[in-house]
Homo-oligomer: A and B are copies of this chain.
Amino acid sequence: MKKKKKVFIDGAIGPDFIAESIAKHQTKKEIGAHEIFLGQVRADQKGTGIVQAIEFSAHEEMAEEKLSEIRELAFDKFNLSCMHVYHSINKVEAGQICFYVFASSAHRKDCREAVSWLVDTIKKEVPIFGKEILENGQHHWKSNTEVL
């Protein structure tokens, strides 16, 4: 039975939340390197309007199961001390953070490669959906197949 960790955060991921999770690792004195990726909602032009927010939804049970598999694979592939993944659900305004990947290791190579692999794999394999709300009241469905 795999342990499921909390993944989804209601709304934007705040800088304070990130600071707290960094601070928690200061007791782990075998760690020499942390690598962090943050995804931020871009105010892109989409058709006739500009993105004002993204409303995220997900197949939550499947996403958590998939993330738990991805997490296990990452611990197998890379020599990591810690790994954390958070994604927003519901509305996140442009300029706010919706995706947070954090890995820690003794040396920088492991956490660097892990974060890069985690971000790419999660974008490709985890069932999260995004409705881009435009300023003109219209919307557009975000798709990771458009830009990789």
Question: Which residues of A pack against B, CB within 8 Å?
Answer: 15-16, 18-20, 22-23, 25-43, 94-97, 104, 106-108, 112, 115-116, 119, 147
Pairwise interchain contact A40-B15, C-beta atoms closer than 8 A: no
- Secondary structure class of chain A's binding surface, majority of residues: mixed
Identical subunits present:
2
Chain B CB count within 10 A is highest, among A31, A38, A95, A106, for A38
Q: Is the CB of B39 within 8 A of A36?
A: no
List, in ascending order, chain B residues with CB within 8 A of A16's CB: 19
A32-B42, A40-B26 known; A112+B107 contact, CB < 8 A: no
A87 shortest CB reach to chain B, Å: 14
Contact between A32 and B40 (Cβ–Cβ < 8 Å)?
A: yes
Return the 3 tightest CB-CB contacts between A and B, nearest first. A19-B19, A29-B43, A15-B19
